[in-house]
Structure 1
Amino acid sequence: MSPRDLLHAPCWQGVDLGHPLPDHPHAVSVALPRWQDVIAYEEQEHSCRQALQTVYPRFGQHPLVAELSQRVAQPGLIAWPFPTEAVAEAAQQHCLRQAPGATTELKGFSGLTVLLCDAGASPHAKAFWQHTGLGATSRQAAIALGREQAPHPDNAALARRLICERLAAIHGCDPGLISLHPSGMSGLHAALCIIERLNPGRPTLQLGFPYVDVLKQPQVIFHGGELLQSADLNEIGAALDRIKPGAVIVELPSNPLLRCVDLPAVTRLAHDRGIPVIADDTIGTALNLSVLPYVDLLFTSLTKSFAGRGDVMAGSLLMSSASPWHQQFVDAMNPPARLNDADAIALEEASRDVLDRVPQLDANCLTLAHRLEAHPAVKSVMHPKDCTIFRSLMRSGAGFGCLLSFELHEGTAKAQRVYDNLRISKGPSLGTSFSLACPYTLLAHYDELDWAADCGVPAHLLRVSVGLEDPDELWQRFSTALVS
């Protein structure tokens, strides 16, 4: 059977619940087509969870990984497969810090290292898995289970070189400044490990409304992280003096509000105090933003717009040559895992069209943003075009990214009807060639909805990653849903 064409046959109805997005064995998203499905997913309802044919890889174990885990699990012990012994040891140490009396052990299996732990430690293993993005991937599991062949190492080495050269050409830097990692969050993990070696035992300071795991990783896995949402430079300076963070973390732009802090000014404040700046440009993308003069470490989820297919997990970390700490970063760089062979080859193939695809995604998103703004049912649209700082960081002729968020005048009841009737695929992730929508706040902040609302992110907010569909056809789908 041919894979489902999600540009023309999206997973948007109740019967599509749990369908992989895309229709591929290594899909990284899953269809949650109705509002009630999102609620059921968050409430851990058995019928919903049973319907899921896959899962976002950091939020749980992909079916191939779960099969491997079941094969190596022992009575009373739950299995968490990791790509290297170093990662498994780090996960084990995290579990024992959080649950000192827990039972844990490490076991090798077909080139992977599995952390076996009891019920007291398993939630901490899951947290490490989610926040760091360092779990074994579906391709690694497929190879370990004998379902797929391991690629030749020379082919993988060539793929990594081509990816780094492709990224370097986009950033305008030397390929040697870029390292490849199993996910965007593991790119952040590599950055935080460097910071820990430079500034041991210090928390981070994150500015702006956070993507949940960018904030949670330093809070849970390292030495804490504080959040400051104010854009006032005096308040930021005071927070830097009070907290004395090991690093400042910013997102370019934030998710889902799609705003940027005043990066040049924040960097001056941080550098004056001897504090490095870590940035995430996943949403803005290096094709659109020129930020290397203002950041010390730049991490990216290559899973998203760079790959564009939604069937490979990967991330990168760029150590800016302009950073005052550049040589110290190079000396301290020793990640516990790098991008594996099979995913490197998949990523290289997927990203060959990135220079053509991403500008089209951006243009389609801008068109949809303008049309939504003019619709009477829409209360507000969040899009980077309205952020003056984003504009100031843009390259000549660049776009604004493929992501937008919007609110409706009638709140949750209307948002639910629009979501349920919207004929595009619906589920987590972004940057795919097919459009994806989700009630972002419910998925990312279900247990802290009041806090999110106080931050200007209501539960009824809808987030859309715009794909390569014909813009007029896509608008017809939205306009039909908006009158539902």
Structure 2
Amino acid sequence: MRNIEVGQSIPPDTAHAVSVSLPTWRSNVGYEEGEDWVVKKMTTGYPRFFIHLSIEAFARDIVDKFGPHGYRAVLFPTKRIAARCASFVKSLAPPALAESLTVISLVLDTSNPAARALEPLTPAISAVIFAPDAFPFAKQYWQHTGDGVSSRRAEFCHGLFKDGLLRLDDSTPRSPTAAAQKLCRGPRRYRRTSSIDAGKKPQPPLSPTANGHTNGHPTGNITASEDSESTRFLEERFGRNLDISFVAPAKSAIKRRIAGALRANHELGAAPLPSMSANTRGITNLKESDIYLFPCGMNAIFNAHRALLGARGPMKSINFGFPYVDTLKILQKFGPGCVFYGHASESDLDDLEAQLKAGARFLAFFCEFPGNPLLTCPNLVRIRALADEYDFAVVVDETIGTFANINVLPFADIVVSSLTKIFSGDCNVMGGSAIFNPNGRYYAALTSFAQASFEEDTYWSEDIIFMERNSRDFASRIDRINANADAICAILRPHPAIAKLYYPRYVKSRPNYEVVKLPGSGYGGVLSITFHKKAQAVAFFDMVDTAKGPSLGTNFTLTSPYVLLAHYQEMEWAREYGADPDLVRISVGLEETDAIVAVFKEALKAAEAVEDST
């Protein structure tokens, strides 16, 4: 795995991979410095930080057709989201740049009969088009919110666009540039039967499968007079492995896994899905409709914040614990701001309680459990008591702990998670979830906001299918990963080159973890280490024979100089909160235990050699 070349996808040769190989310490620095020898080799990257090449290609084609020469675009799944991005950019950019913005929306051209088979997919795209200097502002929105299109949606819709099956939405204001363009009606195979064909014998549509579908798409209202060649071409070009009949049950299966009501490997359609009442969350009135799916984990956090602002009104929030970078940015940039407690300590809670007693009031309390990358576990019992007494919501990100190991829902109003990580495991699809606690104080108001403002179709159907397939063995994978992480800790913890080991079993806040730990579970697959000297960290990282890149929770072990990669421009700030700039984070995978332990023993020898040479 160490031999994956810089800039190549992780996993290798994976079109929609969500990690990228940065195999040496120097390559991570080169990425952060924007050095060509790294950046120009990148075929992909973490999707909120690196806009996928398929998305960029589609954006360029949209600009070529509808925008001024030399402009750029970012793509979103709905008009409302594109409008939010435009408003965000206008609030930050200089007036001249703000005036350059236009938003166009493309929808399926259902005047083409063959295209009607794709209507259930709602293959829409909205583009925010702007002068190049406005890109950094648009990129902020893309990165922080997770609202952008997925690479699979972009790839699918780009094909439709090229073949004339997308048209301007009727409600899209037509700029002079756009008005001068005419959308091609597409190849002849997509056009309505003309009068010259009237004497031909009508061809029947493709025969439906046992599911009532034609090669993966609903038969819908396709008539016998439709050109069968056009339908066949459409199915072959766009059908791939996507059977729309599986999308709804796949959503249900994902939600039941998130609830802990479905833990065994379950083939869709093989048997009814289990009841939601028997779940590992310990809440018998939890319903499938209380669980919301989003295109990525950060989008779940962004929408949880939106929902709370909508339900409770504008107030500052609390960000508790050293944060994943974009959670703090969301709270700072999308609303009245936040109060930041970076240590997640009891003394931080003492200070918060003093503020509350003095009259301070807050919208919500956001924390990770455990934190990333320091694996600190906040005191949820005390936090819940303060929330009940002083009327604020509690939002817990359980991504690192995973809901197969811990149950934090009884202490939270909203629980969010990145499904991209260990729930998927395969590192080839994004996803996120949010659970509204049905027994929470704000449940009714949050649900009302969600019904009016959440857009379910933003989670692309292909991504749902991949996520459901990947997650079928989620529960059994956790057991192996827990065991491997324990075995790796056993050789790291006593090693003389290691200054600190961060893992829920060994951190000072372990008692807080035990409160929510499920019976028979473990302590997760993420751990971090620091060394006595930077040279030791570099030698260890360069030697360790694992995949090396951003993300975590993969089925293979993935190592990263996390603070360098996530906080390169603010490393001294990170140090103030205990995050050493030379920290190495390890996300443990499913390898044979003896084999992965041997890998880390070899890497430790490299760190020892540094010590011996000084």
Give the TM-score, by structure 2 length. Answer: 0.75
Look up the match of 1:18.
7
Residue in 2 that maps onto 1:198: 311
Distance 2:371 2:147 in 1: 23
C-alpha distance in 2 between matches for 1:162 and 1:434: 24
**How many angstroms apart in 2 are the aligned matches of 1:93 and 1:222?**
13
Q: Say which SS state the counterpart of residue 591 (structure 2) adopts.
A: coil
Pick closer, same or farther for the CA change 1:200–1:98 going to 2, 3 Å.
farther
On the 8 A contact 2:549/2:560 being kept in 1, the answer is yes
Letter in 2 for 1:121: A
- Contact residue 485 and residue 524 of structure 2 kept, 8 A: yes
- Does residue 123 (structure 1) correspond to residue 136 (structure 2)? The answer is yes
3-state SS of paired residue (1:186): helix
Q: What SS does structure 2 have at the residue aligned with 1:269?
A: helix
For the residue of structure 1 that corresponds to 2:462, the secondary structure is helix
Question: What is the match of residue 335 of structure 1?
Answer: 454
1:20-419 paired onto structure 2 within 5 Å:
20-23=9-12, 24-73=14-63, 74=67, 75-99=69-93, 101=95, 102=98, 103-109=100-106, 111-146=124-159, 149=239, 151-168=242-259, 169=261, 170-172=280-282, 173-229=286-342, 230-232=345-347, 233-240=349-356, 243-333=360-450, 334-336=453-455, 338-386=458-506, 387-409=510-532, 411-419=533-541
In the alignment, residue 181 of structure 1 is paired with which amino acid? F
Change (3 A) 1:207 1:354: same
- Residue 430 of structure 1, CA deviation: 0.4
CA shift, 1:154, in A, is 2.9
Post-superposition shift, 1:309? Answer: 0.6
Over 3 Å counting, the alpha-carbon distance change for 1:255 and 1:354 in structure 2 is same
Per the TM alignment, residue 481 of structure 1 is displaced from its structure 2 partner at its CA by 1.3
How many pairs align?
472
Select between 428-437 and 211-220 the one with higher mean Cα deviation: 211-220
Asked if 2 retains the 8 angstrom alpha-carbon contact of 1:143 and 1:149, the reply is no
Change (3 A) 1:95 1:243: farther
Q: Which runs of 5+ in 1 are unaligned?
A: 1-9
In 1, distance between residues paired with 2:359 and 2:22?
43
Deviation at 1:286, TM superposition (A): 1.0
Q: CA–CA distance in 2 between the matches of 1:236 and 1:96?
A: 35
Q: Which amino acid aligns with 1:72?
A: I
Of residues 470, 476, 479, the one that matches 2:598 is: 476
CA contact (8 A) 2:23 2:542 kept: yes
Partners of 1:312 and 1:296 in 2: CA distance: 27
Stretches of 4+ aligned residues off by more than 3 angstroms: 147-153, 170-173, 239-243
More deviation in 130-139 or 335-344?
A: 335-344
Q: Is the 8 A contact 1:20 1:31 kept in 2?
A: yes
**In structure 2, distance between residues paired with 1:250 and 1:300:** 12
Tell me: higher relative CO, structure 1 or 2? Use CA pairs within 8 A at least 6 residues apart: 1
Asked whether the equivalents of residues 385 and 391 of structure 1 are also in contact (C-alpha less than 8 Å), the reply is no
Counterpart residue identity of residue 341, structure 1: S
Partner in structure 2 of residue 7 of structure 1: none
Identical pairs, percent: 33
Verify the 8 A CA contact 1:142 1:148 in the aligned structure 2: no
Q: Distance in 2 between matches of 1:394 and 1:212?
A: 26
User: What secondary structure sits across from 1:414 in the alignment?
Assistant: helix
For 1:34-83, what per-residue CA distance to the aligned partner results, in whole angstroms no more than 9, with x for missing partners? 00000000001122101111010000201111111221223242110111
Structure number, greater radius of gyration: 2
Which is worse superposed, 217-226 or 86-95? Answer: 217-226
The alpha carbon displacement at 1:152 in A equals 4.3
Q: Write the distance in 2 (CA, Å) between the matches of 1:445 and 1:453.
A: 10
Letter in 2 for 1:444: A
Instruction: Report the more deviating stretch, 51-60 or 170-179.
Output: 170-179
Give SS of 2:515's match. Answer: helix
Q: Does 1:443 align with 2:565?
A: yes
- Kindly state the Cα deviation for residue 376 of structure 1 after the two structures are TM-superposed: 2.1
Give the letter aligned to residue 160 of structure 1.
Answer: K
What do the CA deviations read for 1:201-247 (whole angstroms, capped 9, x no partner)?
22211111111111111112333222113432321213445652211
Query: 1:445: how far off?
Result: 0.7
CA–CA distance in structure 1, aligned partners of residues 376 and 558 of structure 2: 20
Encode CA deviations 1:125-154: one digit per residue, 9 max, x unaligned. Answer: 111110111111111011012275473443
- AA aligned to 1:154 is S
Pick which of 452-461 and 112-121 moved more.
Answer: 112-121
Q: CA RMSD in A?
A: 1.6
- C-alpha distance in 2 between matches for 1:264 and 1:105: 48
Aligned residue number for residue 462 of structure 1: 584
Greater alpha carbon shift after TM alignment, 129-138 vs 194-203:
194-203
**SS of match in other structure, 2:505:** helix
Structure 1 letter corresponding to 2:454 = P
Cα pair 2:491 2:601 within 8 Å, conserved: no
- The 10-residue stretch of structure 1 (41-50 or 240-249) with the greater mean CA deviation from structure 2: 240-249
Shift of 1:336: 4.3
Q: Once the 2 structures are TM-superposed, how far is the Cα of residue 120 of structure 1 from its aligned partner?
A: 4.2
- After superposition, the Cα gap between the structure-2 partners of 1:47 and 1:424, relative to the gap in structure 1 and judged at 3 Å, is same
* Structure 2 gap ranges (5+): 108-123, 160-236, 262-279, 607-614
